[in-house]
Amino acid sequence: MGKSYKIGIIKGDGIGPEIIDEAIKVLDATASHFGFELQYEEFLLGGAAIDETGSPIPQETLIGVNRVDAVLFGAIGGPKWDNLERHLRPETGLLKLRKEMGTFANLRPAIVYDELVNASTLKPSVVEGVDIMVVRELTGGIYFGEPREYTPQKAYNTMVYTKEEIARIAKVAFDIAMKRNKRVCSVDKANVLEVSQLWREVVEEVAQEYPEVELSHMYVDNAAMQLIRQPKQFDVIVTGNIFGDILSDAASMLSGSIGLLPSASVGSKVGLYEPIHGSAPDIAGQGIANPIATIASAAMMLRYALNEIEAADAIESAIKKVLADGYRTGDLSAYDAKEIVSCSEMGSIIANYVAKS
């Protein structure tokens, strides 16, 4: 047996436990095939943590994530906890986890699989071949800015970015672009926001360190339009927290299913790897969730956190093969399906493909 890695597991709420179980199934098959070992340690977060401890993020979780090599996360939240005070809600726990882990960069690939090009609501000619990486700043901006206040008569939030915060996220984007098609589009609202003026100036400074990378700028409203109009013009998009939150979700729907796409939240310490979709409590426990996004997130974890590139490639190839062979979960049943499979069956098929790779 080769290297051994410690992986933190956060199953969360809703379909979280189901999809994480399938990702673990694939990871175990991958580790066995490529000769390394994975040791898992489970932590609580979100609604499950509230029910057990009264807190959306127990201290044990904050301490525990610092002793692992990476964290694989499912999804949190649901109607059961929607009426709690804001500081007790599941989403507040996730924001605190990201902040404490120092995961300032959210990597959100938007890929259109050839086998599912008809799943998009856009014309195949528009989305065929789309391969975009959205790099979203994750721990600054309006979600964390102070002061902030809510009253029934007036509420306000503050958007704040420092030069250091902008520079470090820009470097992540340019480094990724160097491994792709060497194009970065920085998205802001510099025509009306002072914070965006600083954002643009700092990104241009960082760009001087990457002469091979072509840098362009786009206002966020135009970027949203261009993602729908001509998405293939983009390679890497870098933007702030709130703009990235919106644009990455818009980009994800180019693929036709939010159940297909992974994400990574990385920084200076341990990375957090998770599907982009939510906890889908309406289908939890029915065995019909699509685990592909979570399995793809596990592949990103192998690639970016553990540097097990060959293993990551094998999982991603297995996902493409399972789609090419016509296996579909229910959310994709209308698109060239040869066999509709359950969440567990999809995980098993992908794991078997990896084992035979």
List the catalytic residues.
143, 189, 221, 245, 249
Rounded CA gap, 338 and 332, in Å?
A: 11
| DSSP conformation letters of 235-248 | SEEEE-HHHHHHHH
Query: Which among 204, 197, 205 is positioned nearest to 161, based on CA atoms?
Result: 197
Rounded CA gap, 9 and 176, in Å?
A: 26
Element (H, E) at 156: strand 155-156
**How many angstroms from the chain centroid is the CA of residue 119?**
20
Query: Cα dist. 78→10, 49, 73, 97 in Å?
Result: 16, 13, 16, 18
Rounded CA gap, 215 and 148, in Å?
A: 34
> What contacts 24+ positions apart, CB below 8 Å, involve 338-342?
342/287, 342/288
Could you give the maximum distance between any two Cα atoms of the chain, in Å? 63
Query: Cα dist. 87→64, 76, 94, 104, 216 in Å?
Result: 21, 15, 11, 21, 38
Element (H, E) at 303: helix 292-304
CB atoms within 10 A of CB 143: 18
Rounded CA gap, 221 and 250, in Å?
A: 12
Which two three-digit tokens encode residue 206? 């960082």
CB 263 within 8 A of CB 296: no
* The dihedral formed by the CA atoms of 21, 26, 30 and 36, expressed in degrees to the nearest 10: 0
The interaxial angle of helices 309-324 and 16-34, nearest 10 deg, is 120
